[in-house]
Amino acid sequence: MNSTQLIQQVAAGLQQQNWLLLGCIALVILVSAAGMLGHLFIAKRIEARIANQQHFNRVQFEQEAALYREIWKKLCDFYEKSFATFAWNDSTDESELTTLRKVGEDFFDTIRNNRPFYPEEVWKDLREFIDICDRMSGIHRAMRRAAASAMPQFREPMENAQRAAKEQSKKIEESIRRRLAHLTGGVR
């Protein structure tokens, strides 16, 4: 029934004083209005929920991206300092080791303090990197205790650990990229 037909029905009902017809028409109008208001209310709630979710996703993305930037910077600092410190020469002095310890502690503290905020796949790769760094540190301590003639026996394990650290840093980078891509719905 279109609006012209409805008006004609109302006019006919008024002329005939058909109160039942008029009551039914009024009921149809009220039910239709209530349905439209209900639909509008539900649509607005859904719209608000979607807007809220989009806001949360954006905030989550920004927070995780900031965290990953911080971790990546500290990982690179530590990685570079460890390669400079673990170089194959006798010039490693105590100040280089102190700097490495400070950079390493800063890196590890940042990882530990933010642990609940990493997704499992990123944490797993960071944990593996920490384990490799522990191996490198153990090899370096053994090198410092050993005589100069024993140094060749440490070269291969240290080079293997350094290669593993380099590969693991690539895995961490990819884990972070995958996570950020997931948060943006696959858009890089």
User: What is the per-residue pLDDT across 107-135, written as a single tens digit (0 to 9) for each?
Assistant: 888 888 888 888 888 888 888 888 888 88
Q: What angle (nearest 5°) sits at the alpha carbon of residue 138, between those of residues 137 and 142?
A: 115
pLDDT value for 13 = 67
Over range 40-46, report the average pLDDT. Answer: 81
The domains of the chain are located at 59-183
pLDDT value for 14 = 67
The answer to whether 172 touches 129, Cβ cutoff 8 Å, is yes
Asked whether the predicted pLDDT for residue 33 surpasses 70, the reply is yes
The answer to whether 100 touches 137, Cβ cutoff 8 Å, is no
Q: Between the ranges 23-37, 60-74, 78-92, 137-151, where is the mean pLDDT highest?
A: 60-74
Supply φ then ψ for residue 90, to 5 degrees.
Answer: -95, 10
Any residues with CB less than 8 A from the CB of 85 and at least 6 apart, and which? Answer: 92, 96, 97, 99, 100, 140
Residue 186: pLDDT band with limits 50, 70, 90:
low
pLDDT value for 132 = 86
With tokens 């390669």, the residue in question is: 83
CATH class of 59-183: mainly alpha
